Amino acid sequence: MSSILEVKDLTKKYEDFVAVKGISFDIREGEIFSLLGPNGAGKTTTISMLSTLYTPSGGDALIGGHSVTKEPMAVRQIIGVVPQELALYEDLSARENLNFWGQMYNLGGKALKLRIDEILEQIGLTDKADQRVKTYSGGMKRRVNIGVGLLHKPRLLFMDEPTVGIDPQSRRAILDTVIALNKQGMSVLYTTHYMEEAAELSSRVGIIDHGELIALGTQKELTEQVGQAETLLLHVDENQQPEKLAAALKGLAGVNQVDLTDHTVAVITPGAEEILASVVAKASEIGMKIRSIEIREPNLEAVFLHLTGRALRD
Amino acid sequence: MKKIFLIGLKDLRIVFRDRPALLLILLAPFVLTLGMGFITGRFTGSKSGLSDIPVIIVNQDKAQLGNALVDAFNSTELSTLVKTTEVDDPAAARRSIDQNQAAAAVIIPAGFSINTLSDNPTQPLKIEVYTNPTSPTGSGIIQTIVEEFLGRVEIGRVAGQVTVTQLVTTGLVSPQEAGKIGSAIGLQQATSDVPPVIGLKTASSGQASQDFDILAYLAPGMALMFLMYTVSYGGRSLLAELKQGTLPRLLVSPTSATQVLGGKVLGVYLTGVAQMSILILASTLLFHLKWGDPLGVTVLVLAAVFGATGWGMLLTSMVRTPAQMGGLGSTLMLIFGILGGSFISLNNMPPFIQAISKITPNSWGLDGFTTLALGGSLADIGLPLMALFLMGALLFVAAVVVFNRRGLLQN
């Protein structure tokens, strides 16, 4: 599959401070790629350079074969941008906003009118299209903000933390919209500091911290890359002796490590499902009653923690 | 070019939906014009606003100078400007003023003539002008008339003394006759066929003299002053767009920085033109104000807004936040309003202020509007038009240079 975006050694310096340190990655046609990192990691600066708002201090990026530094106008025709902050005219209605921004993307006439109706339908605001944006809830404003970015049917959509500060229902609606757009063939670069969003949406994830791309790959590749195994959590009743169970499980085949916390025994293993039966049998053999069992898969949060020594939201 | 118009029209639409801004852009100049119109008496039914100023005269002197002052107030030259009523009781006159029945009372004390014209006045007697604080312009004019009269009396008195001294020295009159002759000369100087004590004449160079409506000065003065608010509001909108993210969003659309800046400038310009047009239309319809040659007025509005927009853009390029722009814009509005003659005619200002005023669009604009209101045509306002267009162009170039230096519109 060909790449819609190829980033090569992209760098942004502000005097002595380097906000983005020579990052390289690509996004394939039809892919959702997430850039995951904490606040201040360099995600917005990266999107600002890719969307031609900021001039890179070094490196370049090709979008649809056009250089962001040399052919910014050609790049802008291909991309759509949904900024982190709401970028709307609050004294205009949703329809007037969409009409204005559509004209800025060289749309007009009947085609624009039809496209606006489509977008309003898509973001669920057809009924309130003629109300001024300032009367909308935060979630509704977010949806209009996204709608503006979709007007000209971009091949590559940049979404910069689109779910920050909104209610769970609106967040769900936005994630569903991203999935639906991707199904229609749109490539998406999605930045977030929510591990769950990156995990749910993306085929590949880049983890960025202090302006550096510290890991890149599918979720599976990332977790394997840092050697994360699955964790089998065995919860026992208070009148049981978990230390006895922990000792019994230590010599079992497929068990890497056994940890004990209160009345929970954590078994670290490359394959939790494979050893589950033998673990239950061993517990039964020593007369131990297990109250519940939980399998925890390795996740991006753990990867970030492993790579940086900090939690994503630190 | 199309996008420049689209951005400009969008800004115009947003301004007309911003109620607080509309209050300052349209209502404030209108209300101030209305208020100043009332102060000057424009709405009391008179034609010019400076006529029929009610004045009460108490002539207790009943002698040469007292009578001369009464005659001056009743002269043909002042017949349209003041409307006199004579009473005998000073207390009654003051009461009438307290009851807001006239702009001022002029009380000439008994013995004023004898005392003033004598060789050795015992104690100077003073004419009292009892003014009505609710009619500052009218009472100010009465005060000026009296001061002018007294000045003339003083000149006559001194002239009489000098003449008599010369006559006595040369032996042409005897010292015994000196007092009588001196009084006669002084009195003649002060009261005889002198030019009118004070007169009002409005005229424009090369034009036939015609009546001038005071509102034709006040209305453009206020409109031009609040035009400065409008252009600073427009500049503030550019900085606000930068802050709220719509400007960066415009700059990542297929729209060039030149188109964005051009559109923002056009938005400011269109708002200014709309403001001036509405104020002109409203004052014409409601106050029956004659602005003069329509073509001249149209071109002058376009030029004045252009000059003011230049200032607005230069300020915008120099400040960092919408709040800074708001403060600076309001300050500049007031300074330019004062310097430009929106409150006080520039003719009453020192020459150096008159020179400084030329940096303001208000001053040139007022020049033009006054000329047109006095019957001038487009051809007569060539200089203000040229100055305003040149001012706008120079300031716009300066603004672009500063914008580029600051990298406000990077791409």
pLDDT digits (tens, 9 = 90+) for B45-58: 544 445 678 899 99
With cut-offs at 50, 70 and 90, classify the pLDDT of residue B83: confident
In degrees, rounded to 5, the angle at the alpha carbon of residue A189 between the alpha carbons of residues A136 and A179 is 65
List CB contacts of A227: < 8 A, sequence separation 6 or more.
none
Lowest mean pLDDT among A57-61, A165-169, B86-90: A165-169
The minimum CA-CA distance between B319 and chain A, rounded to whole Å, is 21
Average pLDDT along chain A? 87
Give the chain A residue whose CA is nearest to the CA of B257. A53
The three-state (H, E, C) secondary structure of A7-69, written as one string: EEEEEEEECCEEEEEEEEEEEECCCEEEEECCCCCCHHHHHHHHCCCCCCCEEEEEECCEECC
B337-360 confidence digits (pLDDT tens): 888 887 777 666 778 888 888 899
How many CA atoms are closer than 13 Å to the CA of A170, on its beta-carbon side?
A: 18
Of B18, B244, B254, the CB nearest to A73: B254
Cβ neighbours around B27 below 10 Å, total: 12
Q: Which residue of B has its CA nearest to A82?
A: B249
Residue A52 CA to residue A81 CA, distance in Å, equals: 11
Element (H, E) at A230: strand A230-236
Q: What's residue B47's pLDDT?
A: 47
- pLDDT category at B192 given cuts 50, 70, 90 is low
User: Does residue B74 have a pLDDT over 60?
Assistant: yes
What mean pLDDT do residues A84-110 have? 92
B169 CB-near residues (< 8 Å, 6+ apart): none
| Contact criterion met (CB < 8 Å) for A87 and B18 | no
CA distance B268 to chain A (A): 17
CB contact (8 A) between residue B253 and residue A87: no
Cα–Cα distance measured from residue B141 to residue B153, given in angstroms and rounded to the nearest whole number: 19
Q: For B217-283, list the strands marked E by DSSP.
A: none
What domains are defined for chain B?
Answer: 2-41+210-406 (no CATH), 53-199 (3.40.1710)
Q: Is B111 exposed, middle or buried (0-12, 13-18, 19+ CB in 10 A)?
A: middle
CB within 8 Å of A112: residues ≥ 6 apart: A99, A102, A103, A151
Local structure of B104: helix, strand or coil: strand
DSSP per-residue codes, B327-352: HHHHHHHHHHHHHTTSSS-GGGS-HH
Measured CA to CA, the distance from residue B346 to residue B356 in angstroms comes to: 11
Does B249 contact A83 at a Cβ distance shorter than 8 Å? yes
**Pick from A52, A92, A103: which is nearest to B14 by CB?**
A92
Beta-carbon separation of A81 and B246 below 8 A? no
Are residues A56 and A67 in contact, defined by beta-carbon separation less than 8 angstroms?
A: no
Across the interface, whether the CB atoms of B249 and A148 are under 8 A apart is answered yes
C-beta atoms of A83 and B17 within 8 A:
no
Q: What ranges make up the beta strands (E) of B97-234?
A: 104-108, 128-131
Measured CA to CA in angstroms, residue B257 lies from A52, B351, B389, B410 at distances of 12, 43, 24, 7
Which residue on chain A is closest to B242 by alpha carbon?
Answer: A87
Instruction: List phi, psi (to 5°) of A31.
Output: -100, 150
Out of A53, A76, A103, the one facing B6 most closely (by C-beta) is: A103
Q: How far apart are CA B71 and CA B183, in angstroms?
A: 20
Are the C-beta atoms of B307 and B389 separated by less than 8 Å? Answer: yes
DSSP three-state, residue A82: strand
Per-residue CA distances from A248 to A121, A264, A265 (Å): 60, 14, 11
Residue A264's H or E segment, with its range, is strand A264-269
CA distance readout (Å), B230 to A10, B35, B236, B408:
43, 21, 10, 22
Q: How confident is the model at residue B166 (pLDDT cuts 50, 70, 90)?
A: low
Selected residue of A69, A104, A106, A151 to mutate for chain B interface (largest B Cβ count, 10 A): A104
Q: Which of A87, A96, A132 comes nearest B249 by C-beta?
A: A87
Q: Are B147 and B169 a contacting pair, CB within 8 Å?
A: no
Contact at CB, B6 and A89, closer than 8 angstroms: no
* Residues facing A261 on adjacent strands: A264
How does pLDDT run across B219-255, given as a tens digit for each residue? 888 888 888 888 888 888 888 888 888 989 999 999 8
pLDDT tens digits, residue range A210-267?
999 988 988 888 887 656 577 788 888 888 888 888 899 988 888 887 877 778 887 8
Contacts B18 to A, Cβ<8 Å: 91
CA atoms within 13 A of residue A146's CA, in its CB half-sphere = 28
Residue A141 or B144, more confident: A141
What is the reported pLDDT for A27?
A: 92
Q: DSSP label at B379?
A: G
Q: How far is Cα B152 from Cα B285, in angstroms, rounded to an integer?
A: 45
- Give the closest-approach CA distance of A99 to chain B in angstroms: 10
Output the CA torsion sign for B283, B286, B290, B293. Answer: positive
Whether residue B362 contacts residue B337, with contact meaning beta carbons closer than 8 Å, is answered with yes
Q: How far is B15 from chain A (nearest CA, A)?
A: 9
Q: What is the pLDDT of residue B185?
A: 60
CB-based contact A91 B411, cutoff 8 Å: no
Tokens 């399998």 correspond to A295
Average pLDDT over residues B7-22: 85
DSSP for residue A189: E
Q: Which residue of B has its CA nearest to A50?
A: B252
| Cβ contacts of A88 on chain B, cutoff 8 Å | 246
Distance (Å, whole) CA A105 – CA A152: 7
Q: For chain A, say whether B246 makes contact (Cβ under 8 Å).
A: yes
Shortest alpha-carbon distance between residue B17 and chain A (Å): 7
Question: φ, ψ for residue A77 (rounded to 5)?
Answer: -70, -25
Kind and range of the H or E run holding B59? strand B53-59
Judge if pTM exceeds 0.80.
Answer: no
The residue in chain A having the minimum alpha-carbon distance to the alpha carbon of residue B256 is: A73
Burial of B168 (0-12, 13-18, 19+ CB in 10 A): middle
Q: What is the mean pLDDT of residues A42-49?
A: 92
Burial of B228 (0-12, 13-18, 19+ CB in 10 A): buried
Strands A17-28 and A66-67: unpaired
Q: Helices (H) and strands (E) in chain A — how many of each?
A: 11, 14
**Chain B residues with beta carbon closer than 8 angstroms to that of A105:** 253-254
Query: How do residues A167-186 score in pLDDT, each as one tens digit?
Result: 888 888 888 888 988 998 89
In the predicted model, what is the mean pLDDT of residues B385-406?
88
A 10 A CB-CB count for B171 gives 7
Check A53 against B10: CB less than 8 A apart. no
Structure confidence at residue B24 (pLDDT): 76
What confidence score (pLDDT) does residue B237 get? 84
Q: Rounded to a whole number, what is the distance in angstroms from the first to the last CA of chain B?
A: 18
